[in-house]
Amino acid sequence: MKRPKCPLCQQSLKHEGETDEKGNPVEEQVKYWMHNPKNLHEDIQVTGHKVCVEKVKRLYPGFDSPTEKDWGNPTFPVIRGQSVSTITLQQFLKLEIL
């Protein structure tokens, strides 16, 4: 079974509610809004790692609340190693995470 991926770091997400041997959550996940890359006039709710969302939010505070002005030439934040950058719509679609 293919696991969903975090749109920010492209790493697989654990299943919600998955716990370790002590009953603690394996990883914290959060939901946020982004433009649907296949239809920019629609927003979708996606799930990402909490640490990834917090890391991106430090540099791009409004990334999780897209606006109409983003429709013309949207960019999507991604984490590569220790750095956060933005990529174009075409580059994001090539990642095939959604």
Residue 68 corresponds to which amino acid?
E
The pLDDT assigned to 91 comes to 94
User: What is the pTM for the complete model shown?
Assistant: 0.83
Rounded CA-CA distance 25/22 in Å is: 9
What is the reported pLDDT for 3?
A: 77
pLDDT at position 50 is 94
pLDDT of residue 1: 59
Domain around 98: 1-98
- Which element (helix H / strand E) includes 94? helix 89-95
Residue ranges in the chain whose pLDDT is less than 70: 1
pLDDT score at 88: 92
Specify the number of domains making up the chain: 1
